[in-house]
Structure 1
Amino acid sequence: MKIGLVARCLNTAHVRGMGKYVLELLRQSGEDVAWHLFADDTRYPLLHPQGHRFTPDVFEFRGDRFRLWEQLGLPLRAGRLPLALLHCTEGALPLWQPLPTVVTLHDTLAFEERPDTAADRFYWDQVIPAALKRAAHVITISESSQRDILARWPELEPRLTVIHHGIETAYLEPPTAAVPDSLRQSLGDAAYVVYLGGPMKRKRFDWALKVLANQPDASLKLVACGFGADARNAARVALPHELQGRVLFAEFLSDAELQALYASAAAVLYPTLYEGFGFPAIEAQAAGVPVIFSPLGSLAELVGPLATLVPADDLAAWTAALDGAIKLSPEARAEKAAAAQTWAAGFRWQESYRKHLDVYRKVALK
């Protein structure tokens, strides 16, 4: 079976977030599936597994401002190829569908937070909902996202399947890398916590800073991950005076390096207000570190042995939870870490891919 796959999230210098999902679909597949990978940015490589089963197709199409690559260029190109189906992986899909089309709708944030312009209202309120109704199948990544989708479009229920993401197998194995030297040297011997999420407002970096500032141990440091170069510089300049020198910004970390950073941390702060699927909540627990978050959206589905749940806006609760994680005895942490490894093993990409393959076969046989 040959499948067309929108792989723009792999058409980049570094694979992050959604790119992990797409890359793992490719990695987990076997010889029974070949992939035609569509992307649009000729300035960057398309990062994909090597082999005859993977055909990169990076092409430009005029009118990207009006999303014509997605709405016209993609279906034109895909429709001319001997593909069994097209999988649009990034939450949007063309209205014109010359091939059976599967879409992964990660969440409904794009519809709720769209800019209030005539073009965006037309695109998110008219074009994409109409395209969803034509899709052969819709995949989403959590029960929470499923509820949000069906609240908007209940008619999608017969064609909607929940398939959870997985985590890198490396998180279930002993670390193979170390924290980068430059970061390790900056940390010295200080205890530290990790913040995941970058500068996006709903990820709440500002809240993580408040939790850090409220800790009784003034030597505790915070390592912030997910910031690009410009965002790192802006956030560093904006740090409160009392936190200068206590907050470090990590550059891009591989999964192996992130696993090492987790493993030596006192805790992970994950104060996000909404996630379609929260990778760090599972990754941190798999790496054996306590993670503190609020059970909002899909995060309520990711509560394992090393999770501490706190109300989103209760600073005293966050402060106490972090203090408790820091004071957790080595024996108690090791016991919870062993249980967390077993729990996290339930989130394997191999199982996620198997369920995707079931959807592909169902769609291709119609």
Structure 2
Amino acid sequence: MHLSPIMRIAIDCRTLLERKTGDRTYIANLIRRLPGLTPENDYLFLLHRPLQEAAEDTSWLACLRAEIHVVRNPSPRTWTAVSLPSFVRKHGVDVLHVQYIVPPVCPCPVVTTIHDLSFYRFPQSFPPRDRFLLQHLIPFSARKAHRVITGSDSTRRDLVEICRIPDGHICVTPYAADAIFQPVADASRLRTFRQQRGLESPFWLSVGVLQPRKNLTRLLRAYHQVLQKNRDVPLLAIAGKRGWIATDIFREVVRMHLNERVRFLGYVPDEVLPLLYSAAEALLYPSLYEGFGLPVLEAMSCGALVLTSNTSSMPEVAGDAGILVDPLSVDSIADGLSRLLHLDERGRQEVRGKGFERASTFSWERTARQTAEVYRQAAPRDLASTALDAPHP
């Protein structure tokens, strides 16, 4: 006997077609788990282009108990406002889940995940047009949505302050490192990888899009400061695609004559990152602002030591397992680098152990369960009460 689903939930999965970002990591890990954790619901995963155009591997989607729909629109600018509500109405969707921007009018309740409000805290990190749109659309979307999901208490506080929405309207569902992030113990494989990347010498690692918010200019100045006092300093490898105003970073390297000490690796795909983290002495992540800071957990899961900022969400993520610095102070970052440099082997193992323990406290399965509960809260009352009574695996 076929039982009707309790809820039909549509999820905007367009970021699956792009190269790795925090938004893509979030949605990929969520939809991997939701159908199995809540089989009583029907899940519809929505794309704007065919899967064949994806920048990363999406073959795993075929194993999920879900419908995949390509919702086409002649203009990408009207996909959310026009195509999405039309699809929802036609397919009898009970709850729609998007990231950031919600449709201005929608026939069903909408849940939005807002990962951060960096466009407000650090507007200089965005091109003027993007900044203008985000500063208008995100607060509107936060107030329009039935529920707002975010990954940290830091961003929850920002949402209350900036978007003027009630605290009870927001659900914090902390994220986690993907299961692929584990130490690579094969010494031969690591050695080959390092040779291929020109990283035979010990190196510190920075990961993230090359943009002002990642604070690479101050990191480079702090690195240069440490080099003046001690030449036995690891190389600095910077992994990430070019973003807004990236040229300032390259100029700083030239100005401080760091060309022989700094390696720009460009964009690094997911499958390579565990090798990079495992080979690195430490991750340097003194970002000015993060909604969550996934690289901190990724690095800890692979056994790398972590230096990160004492602001926004990063203390929540790192706990006592990372070296925390003031990202606005070059001297503070330099002091943190010196602490890394002078850790003996026993100290390194102790910090590494704390990192493994800290990373293990975060779970995508827990995130998915909490998200399913948000759907239930956002659903029409009759569906929500039915979902509450449904058996769960």
Q: Give me the TM-score of the superposition, normalised by structure 1.
A: 0.86
Instruction: Supply the distance in 2 between the matched residues of 1:322 and 1:333 (Cα, whole angstroms).
Output: 13
Instruction: Supply the distance in 2 between the matched residues of 1:181 and 1:187 (Cα, whole angstroms).
Output: 10
Q: How many residues align?
A: 360
Q: 2:14 maps to which residue? A: 8
Instruction: Supply the distance in 2 between the matched residues of 1:155 and 1:267 (Cα, whole angstroms).
Output: 38
Match of 1:40 among 48, 56, 60: 48
The answer on whether the counterparts of 2:286 and 2:333 sit within 8 Å (CA) in structure 1 is no
Asked if residue 145 in structure 1 is aligned to residue 160 in structure 2, the reply is no
Instruction: Supply the distance in 2 between the matched residues of 1:137 and 1:304 (Cα, whole angstroms).
Output: 28
Which residue identity lines up with residue 166 of structure 2 in the other structure? L
Q: CA RMSD in A?
A: 3.1
Q: Within 5 Å, which residues of 2 pair with 1:255-334?
A: 255-334=270-349
Larger deviation, residues 347-356 vs 326-335 = 326-335
Instruction: Supply the distance in 2 between the matched residues of 1:303 and 1:229 (Cα, whole angstroms).
Output: 25
Larger deviation, residues 212-221 vs 307-316 = 212-221
Which residue identity lines up with residue 11 of structure 1 in the other structure? L
CA shift in 2, pair 1:351/1:133, >3 Å: same
Q: Within 5 Å, which residues of 2 pair with 1:71-220?
A: 71-88=81-98, 90-111=99-120, 113=123, 121=132, 124=134, 128-171=138-181, 178-179=189-190, 181=192, 183-214=194-225, 215=227, 216-217=230-231, 220=234
Q: 2:389 maps to which residue? A: none
Deviations 1:267-296, CA, capped at 9 Å, x for gaps: 221121000110112222232222112211
Q: 1:222 maps to which residue? A: 236
Which residue identity lines up with residue 112 of structure 2 in the other structure? V
The answer on whether the counterparts of 2:118 and 2:290 sit within 8 Å (CA) in structure 1 is no
Asked if residue 361 in structure 1 is aligned to residue 393 in structure 2, the reply is no
CA shift in 2, pair 1:49/1:288, >3 Å: same
Q: 1:51 maps to which residue? A: 63
The answer on whether the counterparts of 1:2 and 1:34 sit within 8 Å (CA) in structure 2 is yes
CA shift in 2, pair 1:349/1:41, >3 Å: same
- The answer to which structure, 1 or 2, has the higher relative contact order (CA under 8 A, 6+ apart) is 2
Q: 2:263 maps to which residue? A: 248
CA shift in 2, pair 1:304/1:148, >3 Å: closer
Instruction: Supply the distance in 2 between the matched residues of 1:146 and 1:84 (Cα, whole angstroms).
Output: 25
SS at match of 2:313: helix
**Contiguous gaps of at least 5 residues in structure 1:** none
Instruction: Supply the distance in 1 between the matched residues of 2:328 and 2:84 (Cα, whole angstroms).
Output: 43
Instruction: Supply the distance in 1 between the matched residues of 2:302 and 2:248 (Cα, whole angstroms).
Output: 30
Shift of 1:137: 1.1
After TM superposition, what 4+ stretches of structure 1 lie above 4 angstroms from structure 2? 114-117, 123-128, 172-183, 228-238
The answer on whether the counterparts of 1:179 and 1:258 sit within 8 Å (CA) in structure 2 is no
The answer on whether the counterparts of 2:191 and 2:200 sit within 8 Å (CA) in structure 1 is no
Shift of 1:5: 0.7
**Contiguous gaps of at least 5 residues in structure 2:** 1-6, 382-393
The answer on whether the counterparts of 1:142 and 1:164 sit within 8 Å (CA) in structure 2 is yes
CA shift in 2, pair 1:8/1:175, >3 Å: farther
Which residue identity lines up with residue 193 of structure 1 in the other structure? W
Instruction: Supply the distance in 2 between the matched residues of 1:181 and 1:237 (Cα, whole angstroms).
Output: 31
Identical-pair percentage: 24
Deviations 1:24-60, CA, capped at 9 Å, x for gaps: 0111220344432223245823836223623332343
Deviations 1:232-260, CA, capped at 9 Å, x for gaps: 99966873162113222224434453223
Which residue identity lines up with residue 26 of structure 2 in the other structure? Y
Instruction: Supply the distance in 1 between the matched residues of 2:40 and 2:258 (Cα, whole angstroms).
Output: 54
Which residue identity lines up with residue 46 of structure 2 in the other structure? F
CA shift in 2, pair 1:250/1:231, >3 Å: farther
Shift of 1:129: 3.6
